[in-house]
Amino acid sequence: SLSLSLSLSLDLIINLLFINYILTSLQDYCSRLGFKTANWTLDDAFEYISNKANRYETPSNASKREENSVKIYDKYSPRIAEKLNELKDNPNVDDERANDINNSDDLRSAISGKISFESLCLKCLRVSNDKMDVHPFFEGSLCKDCSERYKPCMFVFGNDSKCFYCTVCAASGMVIICDKEDCPRVYCTACMKHLLCPTTYEQVLQEDPWECFLCTSSMPRSFTDTIVRPRANWKDRIINMFRTSCESNGGRHLVAGHNQERRKIRVLSLFDGLGTGLLVLLKLGFNVDAYYASEIDPDALLVTASHFGDRILQLGNVKDITNKTIKEIAPIDLLIGGSPCNDLSLANPARLGLHDPKGTGILFFEYRRILKLVKKLNNERHLFWLYENVASMPSEYRLEINKHLGQEPDVIDSADFSPQHRLRLYWHNFPIEPDLLPSQREQDVQDILTPHCQRYSLVKKIRTVTTKVNSLKQGKLALKPIIMKDESDSLWITELEEIFGFPRHYTDVKNLSATKRQRLIGKSWSVQTLTAIFKCLCPFFECDVVEAKDES
């Protein structure tokens, strides 16, 4: 009887909350149209809905919104503006971070000029005697411990394509979000109030839209109000975030010492997906002697079979590749692979990590096992290898991968080569430097939209596309990124294929649904990025001088 009573009470509370949400939403919507809704009841709201004429009328006394205004009370309805003002007037500044800032003797020394800001860790606000890492975004550094906690936080994005953690100190909690759609950066209230804009903090809170310190349009500002100043070359700094050594990851010495006769390339691709490796090699004009692949997704296998037939020699599940298998296919010139990232990403709170046998993170060790086998059985032939995964993994995962591969990763963003931000870590022994990768024709989303259909992009670069349908929406409002005939629209799958560098209709096989096609594409490598990376291999193998056309 008691449990029944509690259940009924809970149902009543939920129903009342639901009714209140409906009323509040209708009040807000109608107030945007100019109706006076402050004293509305639910009956008033339903009466408005039932009157069809109301849907097309606007009260004559409705005030026109000023489109160019930066005041929140002009841009939003009175009800929403009231709530926003409450938050902005009391933004819940993190007391712990604020106390750290106010009590830091080292910070005061940096402000007074007694020490350089480059000697100060912007996260713990202390000077360390040990070697410091450069803070990628602002003038300052990160001590060793803080750096390892900070690095993965910079690339953890929510469904709104904005970061979870503060750009300065990697704090969570209440953050101020950059309103520029192409910028994912957020800033905690404590850093904003005490480090970034101490004398204009309240003014900044009233700006709407607000563009942050790293955005191009904001860079010309004079930063007289800013204690911690942004770096002009922060994009270049990101590339070296994951390096603890100044040594190159790759084998640049191979280029200078290479005088062997060129031969056709033999490839083993693990977690092959849509055959991106073969597509890129053919695009670059490589003469491929053999392309072996391990893939188990039936839809992916169908797509690659329809394009490449028996040019891809399928080996089945990566776990079934044995010593005998490698002996039969050796020698191998190029080993590539990127194991599933879901259980390694900080964006997944239920991640199982590297070692849980129930998860996919453990598949990294299959790549490592096969890498060792190929090196052992390769008949002294040089092996180029490449492993890829997300940048947003916890530091302990990245450091363990470093240990097993004997290499630190390079961080490369596909936005440098395509209309998509896709930040990834690449472990490899290629003779390349990521900041010197051959540039390709800069491309924005508008460049790939289907012509003659009045389609216009709201963003230049889309955020990272995953297997989730919602990843196609952009910004903190999760808006569709395209306007077509004055209505919002999503990217079409054919356009998404081109954003990833695939030919249009590449995944249009067996009447696969749009959702299934996006899942396949969302797990894939960026063709443009892989093309830039693979170009450095041309001097080592038979390769046409003129770049070949896509073969699909």
| Active-site annotation, residues | 341
Residue in 198, 190, 236, 220 with CA at minimum distance from that of residue 94? 190
Nearest to 144 by CA among 155, 130, 165: 130
Residue listed under structure tokens 């020490």: 115
What is the DSSP code string of 256-315?
Answer: HH--SPPB-EEEEEES-TTTHHHHHHHHTTB-EEEEEEE---HHHHHHHHHHHGGGEEE-
CA 86, CA 83: separation in Å to the nearest integer?
5
Q: With contact defined as beta carbons under 8 Å apart, do 298 and 275 qualify?
A: no
Q: How far apart are CA 282 and CA 503, in angstroms?
A: 13
The string of DSSP codes covering 375-432 is: HHHSTT---EEEEEEETTS-HHHHHHHHHHHTSPPEEEEGGGTSSB--EEEEEE--S-
Rounded to 10°, the helix 364-377/395-405 angle is 10
* Cross-strand bridge partners of residue 412: 424
287 contact partners, CB below 8 Å, separation of at least 6: 264, 265, 541, 542, 543, 544
Partners of 489 in the beta sheet?
482
Sheet architecture: strand order including 482-484: 455-457, 482-484, 487-489
Look at the alpha carbons of 301, 302, 308, 310 in this order and tell me if their dihedral is positive or negative: positive
> In whole angstroms, what is the distance from residue 196 CA to residue 414 CA?
30
Q: How far apart are CA 362 and CA 364, in angstroms?
A: 5
Residues 286 and 541: beta-carbon distance below 8 Å: yes
Distance of CA 344 to the CA centre of its chain: 14
Task: Give, for 484, the enclosing helix (H) or strand (E).
Answer: strand 482-484
Report how far apart, in Å, the C-alpha atoms of 173 and of each of 189, 190, 200, 398 are. 9, 10, 21, 25
